[in-house]
Structure 1
Amino acid sequence: MRSAMNLQSLLLAAATLGSTAPAVAAQPAAQVHYRTADIQGVSVFYREAGPADAPAVLLLHGFGASSHMFRDLIPVLAQRYRVIAPDLPGFGQTTVKPGVAFDYTFDNVASVIDAFTVDKGLDRYAIYVFDYGAPVGWRLAVANPKKITAIVSQNGNAYEEGLSAGWADMRKAWAEPTAENREALRRFNTPDMIKWQYTEGVRDTSLIAPESYQLASAAIARIGVEPQMDLLLDYGSNVRQYPQFHAFLRQYQPPTLAIWGKNDPFFLPAGAEAFKRDNPRAEVRFLDAGHFAIETHGDEIAARMMEFLDRNVSR
Structure 2
Amino acid sequence: MFYREAGSMAAPVLLLLHGFPTSSHMYRNFIPLLASRYRVIAPDLPGFGSTTALQRGAYAYTFGNLYRAVLSFVDGLNLRRFAMMVFDYGAPVGFRLAAAYPRRISAIISQNGNVYEEGLVEETLRPMRAYWDHPTKANRDRLSGFLTAAATRFQYTHGVPDSKLELLSPDAMAHDQSIIDRDPELQLDLFADYKTNIALYSRWQEYLRVERPPVLAVWGNGDPFFGPAGAYAFQRDVPEAEVHLFDTGHFALETDGPEIAELTRDFLDRKGA
With normalisation by structure 2, the TM-score equals: 0.96
Partner Cα distance (1:99, 1:178) in 2:
19
Q: Tell whether 2:218 aligns with 1:259.
A: yes
Residue pair 2:56, 2:186 contacting (<8 A) in 1 also = no
Residue 118 of structure 1: which of 75, 79, 89 is its match? 75
Which of 1 and 2 has greater Rg? 1
Which residue pairs with 1:177 in the alignment? Answer: 135
The aligned amino acid for 1:194 is T
Percent sequence identity is: 52
State yes or no: 1:281 paired with 2:240.
yes
Which of 54, 57, 64 matches 2:11? 54
Report if aligned partners of 1:55, 1:313 keep a CA contact under 8 Å in 2: no
Separation (CA, whole Å) in 1 of partners of 2:234 and 2:156: 24
The 2-side partners of 1:175 and 1:53 are apart by 48
Residue 103 of structure 1 pairs with residue 53 of structure 2: no
Alignment check: 8 A CA contact 2:34 2:261 kept: yes
Distance of aligned partners of 1:247 and 1:217 in 2 relative to their CA distance in 1, 3 Å threshold? same
1:313 deviates by: 2.8
Task: Give how far 1:94 is off.
Answer: 1.2
Distance 1:212 1:186 in 2: 20
Alignment-mate amino acid for residue 155 of structure 1: N
Q: Deviations over 1:245-287 (max 9, x none)?
A: 0010001100000010001111011110100001112111100
> Structure 2: how far apart are the matches of 1:197 and 1:99?
25
Can you list the C-alpha shifts for 1:104-156, whole angstroms capped at 9, x where unaligned? 00000010001100001110011100000000011010111100000000000
Provide the C-alpha distance between the structure 2 equivalents of 1:275 and 1:294, rounded to a whole number of angstroms. Answer: 20
State the alpha-carbon separation in 2 of the partners of residues 97 and 265 from structure 1.
Answer: 31
SS in structure 1 of the partner of residue 83 of structure 2: strand
Aligned partner of 1:189 among 140, 144, 147: 147
Indicate conservation of the 8 Å contact 2:159/2:224, yes or no: yes
Matched, 1:142 2:99: yes
C-alpha distance in 1 between matches for 2:56 and 2:185: 17
- Aligned equivalents of 1:46, 1:55: Cα separation in 2: 17
Distance 1:155 1:98 in 2: 29
- For the residue of structure 1 that corresponds to 2:209, the secondary structure is helix
Q: Distance in 2 between matches of 1:236 and 1:149?
A: 28
SS of 1:95's equivalent in the other structure is: coil
Other structure's SS at 1:184 match = helix
Letter paired with 1:227 = L
For 1:212, the equivalent position in structure 2 comes to: 172
CA distance in 2, matches of 1:97, 1:254: 35
- Please give the alpha-carbon distance, in whole angstroms, between the structure 2 residues aligned to 1:200 and 1:171: 21
**Compared CA separation, residues 99 and 236, structure 1 to 2 (3 A):** closer
Q: 1:1-315 maps to which residues of 2 (within 5 A)?
A: 44-97=1-54, 101-164=58-121, 165-203=123-161, 204-222=164-182, 224-314=183-273
Q: Is the CA contact (8 Å cut-off) linking 2:2 and 2:50 kept in structure 1?
A: yes
Unaligned runs of 5+ in 2: none
Question: What amino acid is the match of 2:72?
Answer: A
Residue type of the partner of 2:190? L
Instruction: Quote the offset at 1:98 in angstroms.
Output: 7.2
What displacement does 1:182 show?
Answer: 1.0
Larger relative helix fraction: 2
Could you tell me how far apart the structure 1 residues matched to 2:34 and 2:157 are? 26
Unaligned runs of 5+ in 1: 1-43
> Stretches of 4+ moved more than 2 A in 1?
97-100
Matched residue of 1:142: which SS?
helix
Query: What TM-score do you get using the length of structure 1 for normalisation?
Result: 0.84
State the shift of 1:207 in Å: 1.0
- 8 Å CA contact retained: 1:50, 1:83: yes
